[in-house]
Structure 1
Amino acid sequence: MATFDFATETSRITSRPAIATRVVNTISNVYRAWKNRRAFYRLGEMSDAELADIGLTRADLHVAIEVPFGRDPTERLRVIAADRVDTIEDLARKVT
């Protein structure tokens, strides 16, 4: 067996697990996004007071749902809530 034949055969062997891993990761990400989207819709059933308790508003839900279907809207909510907390903390520091 020549060195060239071995190198070609090795790349085929090592690429198969990488492809399988990518497929499994993609399926896992889509499933997680679907599951989180179902939980996201339950947030819409909450009252405005309940949403305020967890640091969200109804408008935040409308902004977060605009992400494409394969993406997770709860990630967008986390960013919105974190930005709001940072803004409130910055304002509190300026007052004192």
Structure 2
Amino acid sequence: MTTLDFATETSRITSRPAVAMRVANTVFNFYRAWKNRRAFYRLGEMSDSELADIGLTRADLHVAIDVPFGSDPTVRLRSIAVERAETIEDLARKVA
């Protein structure tokens, strides 16, 4: 066995766990996005006052649902809520 043969054989052995890990991460990310999408749909069942309590509006739900299926709409909702909170805090500082 030459050094080249050994190096080729070693790279195949070490790449298998990496491929398996990528597949496992992809499946896990898809499952997490599916689970969060189900929770997102439960937000649609809330009343407008309940949504306002958590810093969202019904229009925010319509904006966030436009992400592709494999993506997580709750990430978009969080960014909307954070932007709104920062805007409200900035306005409160200007008034005070």
TM-score bracket relative to the smaller structure: over 0.9
The residue number in structure 1 matching 2:88 is 88
Moved >2 Å (runs of 4+): none
RMSD after superposition:
0.7
TM-score between the two structures when normalised by the length of structure 1: 0.96
Name the CA distance, whole Å, in 2 between partners of 1:10 and 1:95.
Answer: 67
Question: How many positions carry a matched residue from both structures?
Answer: 96
Structure 2 distance, partners of 1:43, 1:6, is: 56
How far apart are 1:42 and its partner, in Å? 0.5
Q: Counterparts of 1:5-84 in structure 2 under 5 Å? A: 5-84=5-84
- CA distance in 2 between counterparts of 1:57 and 1:11 reads 53
Query: What's the offset of the Cα at 1:90?
Result: 1.1
Gap runs ≥5 in structure 1: none
SS of alignment partner, residue 62 of structure 2: helix
Relative to the length of structure 2, the TM-score reads 0.96
1:43 aligned partner, one-letter code: L
Structure 2 gap segments, 5+ residues each: none
Q: Distance in 1 between matches of 2:61 and 2:2?
A: 61
Identical pairs, percent = 81
